[in-house]
Amino acid sequence: MTVVVRTIARVLLPISLEFGGYVIMHGHLTPGGGFQGGAVAASGLAMVVVAFGAKRLSGKKGLLSALESLGGVAFTALAFLGLGLTFFANVLAGAGGLFGNPVPYGVNPGDLNTAGTLPLMNWAVGFKVLAGLGAVVLLFALFGGEHDR
Amino acid sequence: MSVHAPILAIGVALLGGFAAPLWAKLHKTLRDLWVLLVVGFVGVCVGYVAVHVFTTGIWVYVLGGRSPQETVASGGFPIRIMLTVDAMSAFMGVIAALLAVVAFPFALKYIAEEEGKTLSLTLGLLLLAGILGMAYTGDLFNFFVFLEVTSIAACALIGFRTWTSRAPEAAFKTMLLYSVSGLLFLLAVAFLYGEYGALNLAYISAQLSGTAVDRLSLALFLGALLMKAAAAPVHFWAPDAYGQAPAAKTLLLVVNTQVSLYGLWRVLFTLYGGILDAPVGWLVVSLGLLTMGVAAFMALVQTDLGRLVAYGAVSQIGYMLLGVGVGLVALSGRPDYGLVAMKGGIFHMLNDALTVGLLFLCVGAVEWAKGTRDLRELGGLGHGLPEVALCFLVASLALAGIPPLNGFASKILIYEGSFRLSPILTALAVLASILLLAVFARAFQGAFLGPRVEVKATVPWVFLVSMGVLVVGILVLGLVPGFFVEGLVTPAAEALWRGRALYLAAVLGG
Amino acid sequence: MSRWLGVGAFLVVAGVLIFAGVAVRPFGVPPRTEMDAYFNRFSQPEVAANNAVTAIVFDYRGYDTLGEATVLFTAVTGVALILRRRGK
Amino acid sequence: MIGNLPFVVCMILVALGLWTLVAKRNLVKLVIGIGLIESGVNLFLVALGYVHQGIPPIYTYAPKDAPMVLPTPQALTLTSIVIGLATTALMLAFAVVIYRHKGTLDARKIRDLRG
């Protein structure tokens, strides 16, 4: 791709990653969450694949698949965390510690430090979706390139 | 920990799938050990659940609640997803775990490292998790989610041999059918959610009143699950799929079909059990007859050993549909013969898993040794591979329903039940069995008899152990069927036959 | 001949679906909302999340989300398997 | 009053998707047909959750005393969208491999598996 596309991709990649991170982080307060934020961030990765070509990124395939596995393991581990009560029980919500502030019923401005395991799960799923979608785009791009040659 | 056994079976299988690629990055042997460990653990959990359910009754497990037994919120309606394991679910779980325990050691040896072993083992674990998730869940949307897990994992495994053009083609076809089936299921769930504002199977079942929309949902459920279970008009994906997947993984595909049938039983008997009428039963019976007939005739003309066995497998689906369909027809009056036929149909699920599984392992062993499955090129393998020939013979006879093997034990129950409804049904079913016997006699003769030929490779002992386990199962189930029918099959059939009230009471209380 | 049969079957299915769209229930007036009212009322006190949808996705129906994450993981693994190069 | 028009539109989308599956022979168009059905079902799910004059079920800076729409269908739709994406990705991967083997995407020309 031309230098214009590459430059714009360089500028936009951090922005899309940051916006994806924002959507993931505020998943329990505003519209959005792990899947949506992960997809936003993955669109940045797709842009990089288009702008710079899949060849230059082919070494990152292993990294992406490892990241995806880690995201899945982390998500399942968070679900296992509730096993003292039941699988998936939200043991951190309202417990006072990490993400443990209570929330009264009704309209409020929102507090990031709430919702227990939800933000952690959002992050796990966000990374998983980012890595997964990135890997799919990269695999398709690599396969096509191989065929054309 | 034992109070969490049902979810541990599913959760650990999922965790195993997620983690398998990570272990493979460290060392391949670690990955193999991990896979065996996970499958073993899942097997233990499933066994524990089964023993518990068969001795003490339905096991309800609420996910994410303060306690696993807190099924309904204040107000008397369930809000969280819950696992509801009754005898039928536990029975299905046992079939899945049994075949997984046999299939995974076989797969470790059968699939070469350079052909994507890590990925296919991962998919196998996820498929197992999806099957168990479908069997244990008591929530309609959750059933859909796990239906899709199994669909995607199964299709990826069907497309495994990407270096041939047939495998991706079969996989595409199958995926198309599976997607439509999943979407029809989701549409049916959406209709029910729109009417009743709930997703819990037991709660909706208690509310169903038989409106036009309810009946449309039933039609959509039937279409979706029959499509996925390879019943006759839409069976054509199954031979391609079974023929193309690696032999060890075909076992899991067989269980995948059966768990779709299990979903059908669950929908018909538990969800719609209160308002069902006989025409639905007759529909299931006629589809069953059509399936066994069409598949048996198609098996006659096959030249590929894998596809021939696959058509044999499809025809067995017909017997299950016939057995349980007779029970459905008789559901309103609940005469004895309905329960007998249902016992036969459900017992046949276990028998079919063992026999068809063994046949596919034999096909895999033949391909391993000879490099081809074409009956026109095969022949004389009985000299080089006597153990495989023996296994194939036992499995074919069992599939055709020859006493004293297990296929006979379940088919005789189906015949007995269906005869009391209408002798024509029995006659047709017997005819299909005879046809199958002819088909498999020809296959055995074509592949194993004839002048001695050289085999490229001997069959590893792991294969023989896997196959031996299944042969022992077939013989034991055939020689002492009474013990298993009393202990395993009757509770499972009763759970569908009369168990709806118990199922609803276990979830909704009172 | 078989073409018109197909068209006829399709028209019947489409007619049934559209009839279902009319018959299902009035738009905008859900008849039964116990479960959803519970989620809207208790997602703050129970899960401490302002966003009821996220509370459902990760808490009340978190198990579905685990399945969904599995579906995505399975698909990525499957694509990697299908588009792999043999012998590597 | 628009009556049940939203539901009917969703059903029309589903029907169009089914028509695509029946009538088209290009593999990518078949995938698009699946996508159409899926969009119809997803829209139907979301439409089921609508309440007249409803606001999103999120309490952060929400207007006071407005009815909230039902949150469950939105959560279900999120799940089903991701599942649809996974299905589409896998089917396209098969289509790509088939194209590489056969050099065509026409379903009539690639049938090795018959009978």
Q: Do B356 and B398 touch, CB atoms closer than 8 A?
A: no
DSSP H helical ranges for A26-148: 34-52, 61-81, 117-148
Cα–Cα distance for residue pair B459/B111, rounded to 1 Å: 14
Backbone angles phi, psi at B139, to 5 degrees: -135, 130
Q: Is the pTM of this model over 0.90?
A: yes
Query: Does the pLDDT of residue B491 top 60, yes or no?
Result: yes
Residue of D nearest to B301 (CA): D115
Q: Residue B85 gets which letter from DSSP?
A: E
Write down the pLDDT at residue B461. Answer: 81
DSSP H helical ranges for D53-113: 72-102
D13 contacts on B by Cβ (under 8 Å): none
Query: Does the pLDDT of residue A148 top 60, yes or no?
Result: no
- pLDDT more than 70, % of chain B: 99
A147 contacts on C by Cβ (under 8 Å): none
**D positions 33-62 inside 8 Å of A (CB):** 56, 58-62
Query: Does the pLDDT of residue A54 top 80, yes or no?
Result: no
Whole-angstrom CA distances from D31 to A100, B293, B447, C71, D79 are 45, 32, 40, 18, 19
Beta-carbon contacts of B482 under 8 Å, excluding residues fewer than 6 positions away, are none
Q: Residue A98 gets which letter from DSSP?
A: T
Q: Do C61 and C36 touch, CB atoms closer than 8 A?
A: no
Q: pLDDT band at B190, cuts 50/70/90? A: very high
- Token couple for B15: 């965790």
Mean pLDDT for all residues in chain B: 86
Query: Does the pLDDT of residue D37 top 90, yes or no?
Result: yes
pLDDT of B279-302, one tens digit each? 888 888 999 999 988 888 888 888
User: Measured between CA atoms, how close is C74 to chain B, in angstroms?
Assistant: 6
Cα–Cα distance for residue pair B233/B301, rounded to 1 Å: 19
Q: Which 3 state secondary structure label does DSSP give D2? A: coil
**Interface residues of chain C, partner chain B, Cβ below 8 Å:** 16, 20, 23-25, 30-36, 38-39, 59-64, 66-68, 70-71, 73-75, 77-84, 86-88
Q: Do C22 and D8 touch, CB atoms closer than 8 A?
A: yes
Beta-carbon contacts of B494 under 8 Å, excluding residues fewer than 6 positions away, are B87, B339
Write down the pLDDT at residue A146. Answer: 53
User: Measured between CA atoms, how close is C86 to chain B, in angstroms?
Assistant: 6
Mean pLDDT for all residues in chain C: 83
Cα–Cα distance for residue pair B251/B255, rounded to 1 Å: 7
pLDDT of B121-133, one tens digit each? 899 999 999 999 9
Residue of A nearest to B66 (CA): A85
DSSP C9-77: HHHHHHHHHHHHHHHS--TT--S--HHHHHHHHHIIIII--SBHHHHIIIIITHHHHHHHHHHHHHHHH
Q: What is the ipTM of this complex?
A: 0.91
User: Measured between CA atoms, how close is C8 to chain B, in angstroms?
Assistant: 18
Cα–Cα distance for residue pair B388/C38, rounded to 1 Å: 60
C17 contacts on D by Cβ (under 8 Å): 11-12, 14-15
User: Measured between CA atoms, how close is B312 to chain A, in angstroms?
Assistant: 37
Cα–Cα distance for residue pair D34/D41, rounded to 1 Å: 11
* Angle, alpha carbons B96-B317-B150 (nearest 5°): 40
Q: pLDDT band at A149, cuts 50/70/90? A: very low
Write down the pLDDT at residue B126. Answer: 92
Residue of C nearest to B114 (CA): C87
Q: Is A136 on the interface with B (CB under 8 A)?
A: no
Whole-angstrom CA distances from A144 to A140, B489, D54 are 6, 52, 47
Question: Which of A30, A71, A121 minimises the CB distance to C58?
Answer: A121
pLDDT of B388-408, one tens digit each? 888 888 888 888 888 888 888
Q: Do B202 and B507 touch, CB atoms closer than 8 A?
A: yes
D115 burial type by CB count under 10 A (0-12 exposed, 13-18 middle, 19+ buried): exposed
